[in-house]
Structure 1
């Protein structure tokens, strides 16, 4: 510590000399010579405050105390706020008493004139505004205590003890002195990396020795088998995803859900449906099949449809309200024959047998990597303003960070209990909700870097699996599940969760009280999402059922069996007439909310997009993670969808696709923000790395 202080003193001297502050340099040298402790001097801080009071320098006193509040007191927990407020009141009272004792009536009046607007609403100052007009206030029963020597000594001792305890407990160092701690931390990490590198070399040497052994050759090859996303990395440059769709055209009948839609969308729906025929239906983004893609360049996307796959979106509307759904055929994993010609229904797409050219829907302007996590990511979300990102890993560490204009960590949140979910509040957008595995939800202020509240949700349902904030900003919905699902780890094989039950609860963020339970005890709810105005809520459960809630009536409007297995992720469409869902059965389905349980399209996804996600390594190492966060996201217009893959995000529109890439391990969750001028895609992977891709919509798109 002393070496860091000496080094910092030299840097300050150099700066003052460079700026020509000779007077300040002389004072600094004088102060340093008189200093013997070379560390924190709380007595000097109290002495400085006392000097400002005795010299009646009210402006400097407020600035100095305000600096202590911003630098120190703002980091304290909420329970210490009354103590800080009491010290602030006592300091200003000491200033007024000193002015009256010195007979300086002008300074007393100045204090109440400048501080009146700030203090007039405080109950503890109500009687003090009459103090300048009281004759001999030291004899008045109300103020006699504050004019005594005993009160002054007690206040100064309390202030000194409070500051001493504060500095010792919080271990706060000036920013100039933090370089020494950073240097020690960097040195420690370098030594740890060197040890791990030596251990890795030793294991590789033992592995090579095992390969040379004829009897253990086959066993060695099995143990050192590379994961699929590494085996195909050179051939494809990205993951493969073959998707077939089942489309069913059904006009949206108007019912009470139409009242929840914006006026512009509500008036345009009937006209749009009346114009749709077989021809127009076959060209919609939700009724086309996605083919396999080859490595794509920055200006071109080549699309190949596997040989033998039939066109499945043949719609035959025998009735205005009915359509026949055609079962989809599974996609073949073998590469198509380059000599065969493929049929592509998307206009302007280049296929193996055609000469038409295609351009990616977006231009990737830049891609940056955030690598502050040291374990697999569970959740990664952008706030409403698009300025901050909150990410949660399987170790329970939450990072709050920004990427514009530079990538910078704003706050790190640690928890002694496991964290399972997070969500940004809508209003104000600086607040973050954190759900734990012990039945609590924390409301964290990312600017003040402190917890505002910690709410106990339900003791009988301790696992907070998902959180969803209302767009109005006044409430949030949390999914609480029983301890039976506590056996479900963030990583590792997933046991059956059919016995786990849960409740969907509505809480008020202003009163910090539970408003009501949206549903009786049902299966555990994995995911939930509001529509644009918070009047509708959709949820997906571990029983494969999607439930739609009318939030104005606070009751369930409809529910239907959606997937064979759990529902992992649900979202409203852009026009809010449909709901999209991804389930354990690896199906990406579009549902009509006006007709309960009616599919509008269905697409089969690969394991890379839905999980469980597998990360393999040497010596038989394998890590398995079940889906926790968002698995798909739409752009601002709802025309393109972003999904997970083995090497990065994949953006789809009809058959056109754009690979964001950049990852070396499977992507497990993602988000897409359009709050800024350019769209921002976040893709988070199992190695703890998060890629931030900035996209610009193609002008021809």
Structure 2
């Protein structure tokens, strides 16, 4: 911190000189010279204290310590007061021992005379008043340890460490963070330059390798002409796979070249025409390069057809495939054991190469003007093509697979494991820099994930916490709703509570918080205790409890008004603003969605949406509709211009809507009622992220039936996911999925167009 202060002082002096504020500059220089904190340099403070001790300046020593106490030590918590008192006692003893070692007994007696009234009541100084009257105190067993060099060094190191930690934990002004931001930007710039050079080197190496492979493909050695059919088939597999990747990978998706082999998406090979055999392909490849005319890119793609070993992936029936493989085995001779082993190895390599489905469909021109369509993805080589329709069924169908088109590529997946119990809320702030997560034990972690995953603050609460929400302006503030009727405004940078608001004693459970986009106010949903008297230990009873919906002013920290909830006051489970804060949508425990006009502060419309409670509501991307998830397991889209009119409806699995159940050994079972966000949209509102038993699940919104098309399973969890969030503030979207075992998965996605 001391180096940052010195650099900041230099920047301020440079600015004052540039502006011509010479008088201000003179006052600044004079105050810097008289600065008792020495620019927060701990070594300078220790040197000043030692100067007072060596010069026997007791008054200066006491005055300087009192200044440090008023300026720094008094702001500490009470638990650190005993440490401060021990350091002051050691400092005075260090002074007294120095007077005796230097033979200045007058200063020793002067110390006890001036400090007698203060020290005589302290037990640790009771034996020290006899010190001036002992002839050889360094040999006395009571005082001999204090005359050693080891004790003096230990005291100075302890004082140095205490001041260093104190300065590091002090809340710093924004101006002091300028130096850290400059260093961070410099390091990021250097890292980006290194990655850019690495990218160019890899692209050049890939291009050279591809050119070399093409040369090897056309200019084969003489002995290759005598290779058997199996050797030609293996060569054709590798070359066709490389050509398919080169022709089907879009040029704009250059990030895919950096993905691990397991995450790359192979392209589809073109379908072979009927009657085309691998012998014909091998004969065509054995022609010299000089005899082949220059072909266009389309002709080269048409030339790369599927050999006989691809028949298990084609659309032919399984019977014809088995017959063809039998004929091939008969031609090659099945009595040769080494040959049979090579065939098995070849089939194993072929399955590994073509086990992953391609990203998007494409068409490749074939000979004679025919067009071959891309094949549907298959899970097993012998699966008929008609089974692809069952895999693209809705999310409610069991065993439904992913869609053929993959709109996202998973660039990375990291895990945050600082929580030790089930997560209730997990939200990203508006800037996309920090994440706040709350578990059932009331522990809140504020952490960042860019450039590295790092915990910034830990908030412990004696009272149970039920809700959490980021403020919009400034985005460093956090709203925390408790189970005892209070809402706290917490500063994540200063790591302290700014305000604590008492909402209502009769409705102590703060179920939901939503901050307006302007940041001037926030909505608070308060509910009475459940019939069992517990906060969140068991699922809620079918009878909705009473509740209130309140609007609070963030600046004045006062309640502005209470919304009218018709037909009766009920607990509001979820709230959400639109982009400008003119509309507020709420979902309640009675299954009713209410839409409020925030300019008039009155209800615009309401309708019964679900059989049971409404767990989560959100505005659509165009804000003409509202999406909701309820206790009945339905994901419904509502038209806000026509009250109570459904635009689409989809039944979700139970592991996406709750209640969430985690089972363990000896009949252990943990049940958690949905509390956080159950679904989240991407930046364009075309895809939605939901919960599942093994990770996040992404659907594509459709206008037909079914309303949701399953496209990507993020996975990575061993316990049910209970809340999700999708941040699109950065170039690559970031999906957050939090589970009942306290693990949070952070998946970075790259959108691609098919």
What's the TM-score bracket when you normalise by the shorter of the two chains? 0.5 to 0.7
Shift in alpha-carbon separation, 1:502–1:379, aligned structure 2, 3 A: same
Larger RCO of the pair (alpha carbons < 8 Å, separation 6+) = 1
Q: Within the alignment, does 1:169 sit opposite 2:78 as a pair?
A: yes
Per the alignment, in what secondary structure is the counterpart of residue 552 of structure 2? strand
1:165-204 matches, within 5 Å, as 169=78, 171=80
**TM-score, normalised to structure 1's length?**
0.54
Identify which of 401, 404, 409 aligns with 2:455.
409
Partner of 1:19: none
Partner of 1:683: 737
Q: Within the alignment, does 1:574 sit opposite 2:621 as a pair?
A: yes
Cα deviation, residue 169, structure 1: 3.4
Cα deviation, residue 299, structure 1: 5.6
Q: Deviations over 1:581-630 (max 9, x none)?
A: 00000000000001111100000011110011111111111111110000
Distance 1:374 1:443 in 2: 24
Contact 1:498–1:523 (CA<8 Å) still a contact in 2?
A: no
Distance 1:348 1:517 in 2: 45
Cα deviation, residue 657, structure 1: 1.3
Structure of larger gyration radius: 2
Partner of 2:608: 561
Q: Within the alignment, does 1:536 sit opposite 2:583 as a pair?
A: yes
1:367-386 matches, within 5 Å, as 367-386=413-432
1:577-588 matches, within 5 Å, as 577-588=624-635
After superposition, the CA RMSD in angstroms is 3.7
Distance 2:36 2:690 in 1: 51
Contact 1:388–1:400 (CA<8 Å) still a contact in 2?
A: yes
Cα deviation, residue 484, structure 1: 3.4
Per the alignment, in what secondary structure is the counterpart of residue 723 of structure 2? strand
Distance 1:537 1:455 in 2: 22
Cα deviation, residue 648, structure 1: 0.5
Q: Within the alignment, does 1:467 sit opposite 2:467 as a pair?
A: no
Partner of 2:298: none
Cα deviation, residue 343, structure 1: 7.7
Q: Within the alignment, does 1:160 sit opposite 2:207 as a pair?
A: no
Shift in alpha-carbon separation, 1:488–1:608, aligned structure 2, 3 A: farther
Cα deviation, residue 157, structure 1: 4.0
Distance 2:680 2:35 in 1: 49
1:594-605 matches, within 5 Å, as 594-605=641-652
Distance 1:557 1:151 in 2: 71
Contact 1:299–1:359 (CA<8 Å) still a contact in 2?
A: no
Shift in alpha-carbon separation, 1:516–1:151, aligned structure 2, 3 A: farther
Partner of 2:103: none
Identify which of 576, 587, 592 aligns with 1:545.
592
Partner of 2:386: 341
Distance 2:575 2:596 in 1: 10
Distance 2:60 2:582 in 1: 58
Q: Deviations over 1:87-128 (max 9, x none)?
A: xxxxxxxxxxxxxxxxxxxxxxxxxxxxxxxxxxxxxxxxxx
Identify which of 580, 583, 589 aligns with 2:636.
589
1:140-539 matches, within 5 Å, as 157=66, 160=69, 163-164=72-73, 169=78, 171=80, 300=358, 341=386, 344=389, 358-484=404-530, 487-491=533-537, 493-496=538-541, 498-520=543-565, 522-539=569-586
Per the alignment, in what secondary structure is the counterpart of residue 593 of structure 2? strand
Shift in alpha-carbon separation, 1:485–1:637, aligned structure 2, 3 A: farther
Distance 1:159 1:176 in 2: 13
**TM-score, normalised to structure 2's length?**
0.50
5+ unaligned residues in a row in structure 1: which ranges?
A: 1-54, 70-149, 179-295, 304-334
Distance 1:518 1:297 in 2: 57
Partner of 1:641: 688
Distance 2:633 2:695 in 1: 18
Partner of 1:58: 31
Cα deviation, residue 460, structure 1: 1.6
Contact 1:299–1:360 (CA<8 Å) still a contact in 2?
A: no
Distance 1:675 1:502 in 2: 34
Partner of 2:716: 662
Per the alignment, in what secondary structure is the counterpart of residue 483 of structure 1? coil
Contact 2:392–2:403 (CA<8 Å) still a contact in 1?
A: no
Distance 1:425 1:535 in 2: 17
Per the alignment, in what secondary structure is the counterpart of residue 37 of structure 2? helix
Identify which of 618, 623, 641 aligns with 2:665.
618
Shift in alpha-carbon separation, 1:595–1:508, aligned structure 2, 3 A: same
Shift in alpha-carbon separation, 1:639–1:169, aligned structure 2, 3 A: same
Shift in alpha-carbon separation, 1:177–1:362, aligned structure 2, 3 A: same
Per the alignment, in what secondary structure is the counterpart of residue 619 of structure 1? helix
Partner of 1:190: none
Contact 2:483–2:510 (CA<8 Å) still a contact in 1?
A: yes
Partner of 1:307: none
5+ unaligned residues in a row in structure 2: which ranges?
A: 1-27, 43-58, 84-160, 167-353, 362-379, 703-708
Distance 1:664 1:630 in 2: 20
Partner of 1:49: none
Shift in alpha-carbon separation, 1:517–1:61, aligned structure 2, 3 A: farther
Distance 1:651 1:602 in 2: 17
Cα deviation, residue 688, structure 1: 0.2
Cα deviation, residue 161, structure 1: 6.6
Distance 2:29 2:517 in 1: 50
Alignment size in residue pairs: 412
Contact 1:419–1:437 (CA<8 Å) still a contact in 2?
A: yes
Distance 1:575 1:456 in 2: 36
Partner of 1:138: none
Shift in alpha-carbon separation, 1:696–1:596, aligned structure 2, 3 A: same
Q: Deviations over 1:355-396 (max 9, x none)?
A: x99231100000100000000000000000000000000000
Q: Deviations over 1:27-48 (max 9, x none)?
A: xxxxxxxxxxxxxxxxxxxxxx
Shift in alpha-carbon separation, 1:297–1:536, aligned structure 2, 3 A: farther
Contact 1:463–1:486 (CA<8 Å) still a contact in 2?
A: no
Cα deviation, residue 155, structure 1: 9.5
Contact 1:419–1:435 (CA<8 Å) still a contact in 2?
A: yes
Cα deviation, residue 480, structure 1: 0.5
Contact 1:300–1:357 (CA<8 Å) still a contact in 2?
A: no
Contact 2:467–2:482 (CA<8 Å) still a contact in 1?
A: yes
Partner of 2:217: none
Per the alignment, in what secondary structure is the counterpart of residue 522 of structure 1? coil
Contact 1:360–1:656 (CA<8 Å) still a contact in 2?
A: no
